[in-house]
Chain A
C-alpha cells in the first residue's frame, strides 16, 4: 500500500517549483491583471515545456496520459506561486470534455501549450475566465458543449482573474455524462490543489514575516497568540492535502467514492486556505491590507477560488447526498 506521492511526482513538483521560483510570477500576475498578457503567456509556454499542459491529455493526442494525482501535484505548485491564466479550464477540464467531440483535434494544441481554452459551466462556474486571452472559449450547459464568444467583461475580486460573460456561438454537442462528471471532478480537484498551494504560500510568507517584524521590543513571532494561530493553519493544511491526494487516487481507480472525496477535498481545501488567508492578513497587519504587498495576490485568489468549481455549500451537499445513498444501500 502506498499513499505518498511517488519519487517521479516529487521531482516533477520540484521542477515546477524551480521554474516558478526563478520566474517573477507576482510581476506576471500583476501584468496579467493590468491586461498585459506577455509575461503570463511566457510562463504558459515554459510550463508547457515541462508537460503541465499535457498532463491529462491522452497519449494519442500528444499528451502524457498522466494521473489525477499528477494533476494535483502540478496545481498545488501553480497555486503556491499564484500563476495567472485559465489553467484549470485548459489543463484539468478541457481534455475530458473535448475528447470524443468534433473539437478533439484541439487536444494536441492544448497539450503542447499553443491552445488555451476557457469554459463557462453554469451554475458551478458561470463566467469564462480570461476569455480575452484564451484561444478558444466554450459553454457547457448540462451535457451540451458549444463554442462560445465573450459578450462582456466582469470584475473579479482577484484582478488577475478576468471574467467574461459568454454565449453559445455555434451548434452544441451532447457529451457523455461520464465525460462531464469526470471533467468537473478534475476541475474541482485542480481547484482544491491550487487552494492548498495558495494556503501554503500564505503560511510560508506569514512565518517569514513574523520572524522579522518587531513590535514592543521583540520579534512578533515570539508571541504565543500568533504562534497558535499559525499552528492552526499548519494543522488545517496538513489535513486538507491528504483529502486532495486521496480524491486524486480515487479518480484514478474510478471508484464510486471518488466524487464524494473530490467534494470533501474542495470543502477542506477552501476552509484551510481561507483560514491561511485570514491569519496571514492578521499577522501582517495593515501592510497586508494593501494591494502593493504581494500577499494580496493570494488572499484575493483564495477568495475567488472558494466560489469556483462549486462552493463549499454545493460540495458539502454532494458529500451528504453520497453518504445518505451509500448508507441507504447498506441498510437494505
Chain B
C-alpha cells in the first residue's frame, strides 16, 4: 500500500502484526458447531487479553480508542494473519455501536465488557417469517406489564445468526399494534436462556446450525433491557442496519487475503483451467478496488461524513465480489471442487467459504433492496410503485 500513514499508524500496524503472528490460531472449526464455538470463545478471550478484541472502543471497555484508520489497519493485519471470522461479530459490529449511541451508562457497563471478552456471544433476532428485508412488517409483540416494570414478548424470530450457540439476543418487537408500520416498534435485549424462550437450530446450506428460530412464549423483559425508548426501535435498528451494510462488517483485509489465496491457487492449478485467468485477475482487481474504496470511505468519515446510502453501494460490491472470487477458486479445483471437509483440497476451505459467501447477497437487506436504495437515494430515480 503506497499510502502515507503516520508514524503512529505504522507503529500500530507493527504491534498488531507482531501480536497476531505470535497468537493467531489460523482457521478454526466452524463457529456454528459445538466444538467450533468453544474454540472461537477461547480465541476471543485471547484477543481480549491482548486488548485486540475491540480496538476502536474506549479503554474502559477493553478497547484502544483506535481511530478509524487504525481500525482498518487492524482488520487488514487480522485477515492477513489468517485469523478466523469473529464469533462476536454480531455483538461488536451490530449491537455495540447502538449501545454506545442509545444505551444508558448502566447498560454500557453491564453489556460491553462481557461482549468485549467473548463471555457473552450475541445473536441478532430481527427477521421473522413474514418480515425478512422488510423489517417494518414485524409481528412479534411486546405487551406492557406495569406490575413487573417491563414487557412480555410473544412471537417468533427466524434466520437468527449465531443463535444456536449464543448467550443473548437483540431484536425488534411491536409494542404498539395501533401505530404505523415503522412506529410502535421497541428494541429489546434478552438472554436466550430466559423462561419462555425456545431456540430451534436450523442447519444452513453449509450443513451447520448457523441459524435458529427463536420462539417467545410470554417472555418477561425488564425496562432495564429496552434499548432506546419504547416505540423508538425502528430508528435504533436503522442505525445498526446502516452499520452492517456499510464498512464495519466487511473490512478490505478479508477480501485481499482471499484474493491472494486465489492467486496462490492459480499458481498451483492454473494450468488445469487456463480459461479462468481473467476471472482470477478480476477477483484480485476487485479486492484491490475494495481496499482503495475503503480508504476513501475512511477519509470521508473522518471528515465528518457518514456512510448513508453509500453503504448499499459497498454491500453490493463486496457481496458479488465474494461470490465470484470463490466460484473462481472452486473452478480451479476441477472435479475436486464438490468435495467438502478434510477430503477436499486445502481442507475444504474453498467450498466452506463459497457457501458462506452465498449468504452475502441475501442478508442485511437483499441486493435487490440495496439496488433500489442506490437508484432512489443516490441516483435520485423516482420511487414508483407505492410502498408504505
Contacts and interface: CB of A to CB of B under 8 A. Distances in A.
A319 interface: yes
Interface in B297-314: 298-300, 303, 310, 313
Interface stretch (A121-129, A150-158, A239-247, A297-305): A239-247
Interface in B265-302: 266-267, 277-278, 280-282, 284-286, 288-293, 295-296, 298-300
Contacts of B290: 239
A202 to B, nearest CB: 13
B299 A4 contact: yes
Contact of A267 (B281, B368, B382): B281
Closest 6 CB pairs of A and B: A222-B384, A242-B292, A227-B375, A3-B295, A231-B374, A246-B292
Contacts, number: 144
A227 B267 CA distance: 40
Given A222-B383, A324-B267, A327-B267, A319 B284 contact: yes
B281 A319 contact: yes
Contacts of B381: 207, 210-211, 221-222, 226-227, 230
B379 to A, nearest CB: 5
Interface string A253-292: 1010110010010011000000000000000000000000
Given A316-B278, A327-B264, A228 B300 contact: no
A242 B289 contact: yes
Contacts of A319: 281, 284-285
From A219, A234, A245, residue with most partner B Cβ within 10 Å: A234
A253 B316 CA distance: 32
A224 interface: yes
Given A3-B295, A234-B379, A320 B281 contact: yes
Interface of A: 1-4, 203, 207, 210-211, 218-219, 221-224, 226-228, 230-232, 234-235, 238-240, 242-243, 245-246, 249-250, 253, 255, 257-258, 261, 264, 267-268, 313, 316, 319-320, 323-324, 327
Contacts of B282: 267, 316
Given A210-B381, A234-B378, 4 more contacts: A207-B381, A211-B382, A231-B370, A238-B310
B307 to A, nearest CB: 13
8 contacts: A219-B382, A238-B293, A242-B289, A245-B292, A246-B292, A267-B285, A316-B278, A324-B267
Contacts of A1: 3-6, 9, 69, 295, 298-299
A17 B378 CA distance: 21
Of B4, B286, B288, B371, chain A has the most CB atoms within 10 Å of the CB of: B288
Given A224-B384, A240-B289, A230 B375 contact: yes
A52 B372 CA distance: 38
Contact of A242 (B5, B296, B371): B296
B385 interface: yes
Interface in B107-156: none
B380 interface: yes
